[in-house]
Homo-oligomer: A and B are copies of this chain.
Amino acid sequence: MAANSFGEVFRLTSFGESHGQGIGGIIDGCPPRLLIDHEFVQFELNRRRPGQSHLASPRQESDKVEFLSGIIDGVSTGAPIAFAIWNSDQRSGDYDHLKDVYRPSHADYTYQAKYGIRDHKGGGRSSARETIARVVAGAIAKQYLREQGIEIIGYVSAIGSVKLEKSIPVPDLKNVEASLVRCPDVECSKRMQSLIEETKSEGDTLGGIISCHINGMSAGLGAPVFDKFHADLGKAMLSINAVKGFDYGSGFDGVRMKGSEQNDLFVEKEGRIRTMTNNSGGIQGGITNGEEVFFRVAFKPVATVMRDQNTIDSSGNKVLMKGKGRHDVCVVPRAVVIVEAMAAMVAIDHFLRNKIYK
């Protein structure tokens, strides 16, 4: 029932609206004595921030994190870690024209239907700014996981109709960050940028796919029935704004394989049990097998287009909504760090849960 919390042991509860005082959260269950690298948290927030390139939204959001509790001399104490990112340009008047309008494929109408009240400025909780809290929690989770030898790296593998056809066995953060669209393949990256520029000139928007890898997971994480590792990963990804699909390992493509092709045969390599292929995406029966975990996340195109759209207002009157404002053509490159953050939260949660069995 705690609809604004995620995780069982390492648990983020988030708060805030895009046009209120700020976005923040409380992390309950962070292990004590963890060195919190404030700069790394900020680095991750910067990866999510709009305005990173001319391709992205020109809004300037500073997004400086402030920690409010749970850390002493740079080290976690085991107490809840509260944090906030204060909004700099809150409650401005730009949104009055949206007060009674239900924007197509936004959450305006469904919020009104659920709560009978709605914060029309920036969408309230449905704003993508809410994901800031996830990035902070994910950055802390990553620091713990790194100490356990676990690394998480995502990249953009499709934007609109442009798809990265080759697989990237070991994606490298430098190569990902070197690309304006966070696609580590230089040639494909260029085609994606061209498509974004072209689509921008049309006042239209794009979706895409993020691929993500988790390396260094030991075997045994996840639970057999409802809390399968990939089921929790899937919920985590599907809870991100604009996500429409999730698969892992051979995924939807695996449907066309025969069992004899799909099966990952076991072998022993250097004293460890390994599989020859990895169609399982590192997870068998819901539990990690020590191979690389990888998965894909599908994002729909941004709902706010720079075109006129017919819609209705809260009284049911027809309204022509003008396309205006400062918005991304494609948020997928900025969402890479959010996908990684949610993956990190699932990974640390199952890692800590599994300590009970030791």
Contact = CB atoms under 8 A, between A and B. Distances in A.
A311 B239 contact: no
A55 to B, nearest CB: 15
Contacts of A193: none
A349 to B, nearest CB: 10
A51 interface: no
Given A69-B21, A286-B239, A300-B250, A260 B113 contact: no
Contacts of A15: 26, 68-70, 79-82
A115 B2 contact: no
A44 interface: no
A255 interface: yes
B246 A20 contact: no
Contacts of A259: 204-206, 301-305
A151 interface: no
Contact of A4 (B202, B226, B298, B356): B226
Q: How many copies does the complex hold?
A: 4
Contact of A357 (B75, B78, B252, B260): B78
Contacts of A106: 284-285
Interface in A22-44: 22, 24-26, 28-29, 31-33
Given A1-B1, A115-B357, A249-B300, 19 more contacts: A5-B13, A14-B26, A15-B79, A15-B82, A32-B116, A72-B117, A72-B119, A109-B219, A110-B285, A110-B288, A114-B222, A114-B357, A204-B259, A207-B257, A208-B255, A209-B252, A227-B239, A231-B234, A244-B248
A221 B114 CA distance: 7
A155 interface: no
A287 interface: yes
A230 interface: yes
Contact of A1 (B9, B69, B221, B310): B9
Nearest to A76: B117
Contacts of A235: 226, 231-232, 234-235, 238
A256 B115 contact: no
B231 A316 contact: no
A49 interface: no
Contacts of A256: 160-161, 207
Interface of A: 1-6, 8-9, 11, 13-17, 20-22, 24-26, 28-29, 31-33, 68-70, 72, 75, 77-82, 84, 102, 104-107, 109-111, 113-119, 123-126, 130, 158, 160-161, 199, 202, 204-209, 218-228, 230-239, 241, 244-252, 254-268, 271, 273, 275, 279-281, 283-290, 298-305, 307, 309-312, 316, 318, 352-358
B223 A105 contact: no
Contacts of A288: 110
A125 B68 contact: no
A239 B250 CA distance: 16
Contacts of A251: 244-245, 298
A253 to B, nearest CB: 9
A227 B3 contact: yes
A314 to B, nearest CB: 9
Contact of A263 (B14, B68, B279, B309): B309
Nearest to A83: B15
Given A5-B13, A80-B15, A105-B262, A110 B250 contact: no
